[in-house]
Amino acid sequence: MTDRLSRIARGWDQAADGYVAYFVPRFAPWVAAAVEALETLPDGPILVPCCGTFPEAELLLERFPGRELAGIDLSAGMVERARERLGQRVTVVQGDANILDARWSRACAAVVSAFGLQQLPEPEAAIRSWTDALRPGGRLSVVYWPENTEDDGPFAAVAKAIGERSDYSWEDRLLDGLDAVVERDEFVAYPMTHPDAATYFDTSNHGGSMRALALARGDDYIAQLRQRYLEQAPAGEWTHHPRARLIVVRKPPSRAAAAPPTS
Ligand SMILES: C[S@@+](CC[C@H](N)C(=O)[O-])C[C@H]1O[C@@H](n2cnc3c(N)ncnc32)[C@H](O)[C@@H]1O
């Protein structure tokens, strides 16, 4: 595992409890949108890369009763909590979901992933690998945080305080040459409320994706970042409307299934 990947894994191990308490309920509308976007599916299992504690599971089981569900996550802490929460109802594997192992090739009725893609080392390769995992007629539904989630709000304020741009050029190329029909590619926004600016920052640091940054740069860096962020933040409760990108693609049905009956 690369240093970056092991830091991300460690970050999510440390963040898991805080993430479940604070972010899972706030991110729930987008997770529901990703699941609702799956229409009819062929037979077969549903795979959830970057499942975390697997909040997708209950929604998927309700929508597609009796389906086999499998999740993959890099963080041992997340995997342990998902297994504790869901027991025998799902299989959860610890591993890197960037390139799926060959056993998933053309095996799945659907692949669903929420808020993992933007953290992967190679998002373009990941989306290809996830599409390759689909059976004919199967659907991939992915929701992720793009580079530009909002013009103002705490996500934008943290990005401004960091002041460095990560490379998001992959976003423009994400769907190029994909072996599937793009059914949806849109931004989906919902309101999200934080008790105040400091609570959002501190929870991101201890219970969110900022944990990996803290491990990389240290507590002094995070303390200075917090100060720069709070200088531009409003007082009191903070509601914003961040946009996530929702992509749904469908693998073409097999020719035999698509052909009209002959008699
Ligand atoms: C923001 S959480 C989302 C979890 C869950 N889908 C949800 O909506 O609550 C992102 C998850 O992606 C996982 N992750 C990050 N990089 C990964 C990788 N390369 N392979 C598998 N999982 C990864 C993290 O461990 C974390 O659990």
Position 47 in a domain: yes
Structure confidence by residue, pLDDT tens digits, 203-217: 999 999 999 999 999
- pLDDT at res. 61: 97
- pLDDT at res. 165: 87
Q: What is the distance in A from the centroid of ligand 1 to the CA of 53?
A: 9
* Nearest Cα residue to 197 out of 163, 241, 153: 153
Position 259 in a domain: no
Contacts of 256 (CB under 8 A, 6+ apart): none
Structure confidence by residue, pLDDT tens digits, 101-124: 999 999 999 999 999 999 999 999
Whose tokens are 């604070």? That residue is 22
- pLDDT at res. 254: 77
H or E element, residue 14: helix 3-18
Position 130 in a domain: yes
Position 158 in a domain: no
Q: Does the CB atom of residue 144 touch ligand 1 within 6 A?
A: no
* Nearest Cα residue to 234 out of 145, 147, 119, 156: 156
Q: What is the distance in A from the centroid of ligand 1 to the CA of 79?
A: 10
For residue 32, give its domain range.
3-149+165-191+241-252
Contacts of 119 (CB under 8 A, 6+ apart): 8, 50, 209
Total structural domains within the chain: 1
More confident residue, 1 or 174: 174
Q: Which range has the worst mean pLDDT, 34-38, 103-107, 254-258?
A: 254-258
Q: Does the CB atom of residue 114 touch ligand 1 within 6 A?
A: yes
Structure confidence by residue, pLDDT tens digits, 160-181: 999 998 899 999 999 999 999 9
CATH number at residue 184: 3.40.50.150
Position 260 in a domain: no
Mean pLDDT, residues 59-81 taken together = 97
Position 258 in a domain: no
Position 225 in a domain: no
Joined together, the tokens standing for residue 7 give 């830091």
pLDDT tops 60 at residue 257: no
Mean pLDDT, residues 68-84 taken together = 98
Nearest CA residue ID for atom 27, ligand 1: 52
Q: Does the CB atom of residue 204 touch ligand 1 within 6 A?
A: no
